[in-house]
Amino acid sequence: MTKQTDNTDLLRDVKIGDLTFKNRVFMAPLTRARSDKDGHTQTPLHALYYAQRASAGLIISEATQISQEGQGYAWTPGIFTDAQVKSWQVVNNAIHNAGGHIFCQLWHVGAISHRVFQPDHNQPVSSSVWTPKGEAFVGDYLEDGPTVPHAEARALSKAEIKRLIDDYKHAAQSAKDAGFDGVELHAANGYLIDQFMRDSVNKRDDEYGGSIENRLRLLNEIIDALLEVLPAQRIGVRLSPTGGPGGSYDSAPEALYLAAAKALSGKGLAYIHVIRPNNHTGDGSNKEGMGSLMDKMREAFDGAFIANGEFTPDEANQWIKSKRADAIAFGRPYIANPDLVERIASNAALNAPDAATFYGGQYEGYTDYPSLKKTQNAL
């Protein structure tokens, strides 16, 4: 007999910014590497995948690069060309027709890349000269793939930083044109903005390096640029005090990320989305210690707080009930359970995801997971 659990709090609606979401079960951004290789566009298959999951309170899109320079993985989507905007319109129409909401996660990987993805095969860029640990996922872009060692990244000049901020602004406008309900700025997981924030990478001696205030400067300037395109209540920010590819870290994560939460307050932003340690972005240790920091970040930030990091539905409900979070973002459970909300509501068992089909491919392991009842095609 299935244990009956009351997840009423998790299933209640919530107003964040100027939108009301039908529940607090949010879909975390999930890179699935199925976009068109050359144009980095979405397809009708993506529309079906997302529409199947439209019962989520909010879908946060897979990480979506703001420029060609921002790409770091094979077959990931962009939001900087007209073709990409049109392809996302099909996806977003399907989600909205199914009664859902979606924010676009704006992404620049920085050093977590490879020359094969870069314009003219240039070096990847970062806050400072840095060679990330590990390997880049290049798929079939190189004959000796699918993974190859990361190359050394070079430091962005101050003139290039101004261009970078314009790239974020252009991507936000493109996301608006594509019909997204808002955007989430990806400032987590050791990617470009985090590479400016974390002192293991950022060795700059100008106004973008040194003190915590300086290392947060790029984050703040990008937010200011996004506010020129979108209302504040349609902008969220993702942060991760630990973990991520490449091996970056900060020597004082509590001071840095608490300062980030404070810096993002007073702007009217919709939410911050904070990832606790988990086995996907690290070794999953110190969940309780980082939970304490998350509580402090929630107190410091004046908008909604979304938590993420291997939550069970029961634990998620407890965080909502005790007001530690306004919503919980689920990642891998949404890979295998398009009807996750319905399963939580009925205490049904969850499908197990197939790790072999996480990245690349077509419908297998993407749109073919069974739901409790036949999925309606929302296209």
E-assigned strand segments in the chain: 14-16, 19-21, 25-27, 59-60, 64-65, 102-107, 125-126, 135-137, 147-149, 154-155, 182-186, 235-239, 271-275, 304-308, 327-330
Write the DSSP assignment of 191-224 as a string of letters. SHHHHHH-TTT----STTSSSHHHHTHHHHHHHH
334 belongs to the catalytic site: no
Cis peptide before 146 (omega within 30 of 0): yes
DSSP 234: G
Nearest to residue 234, comparing CAs of 270, 261, 264? Answer: 270
Catalytic residue among 50, 73, 168, 191: 191
How many Cα atoms within 13 Å fall on the side-chain side of residue 110?
A: 30
Q: Assign 308 to helix, strand or coil.
A: strand
Nearest to residue 69, comparing CAs of 246, 218, 191, 174? Answer: 191
Distance CA(68)–CA(329), nearest Å, equals 28
Q: Phi-psi category of 179—alpha, beta or left, where left has phi over 0 and alpha has psi -120 to 50?
A: left
Residues labelled as active-site residues: 191
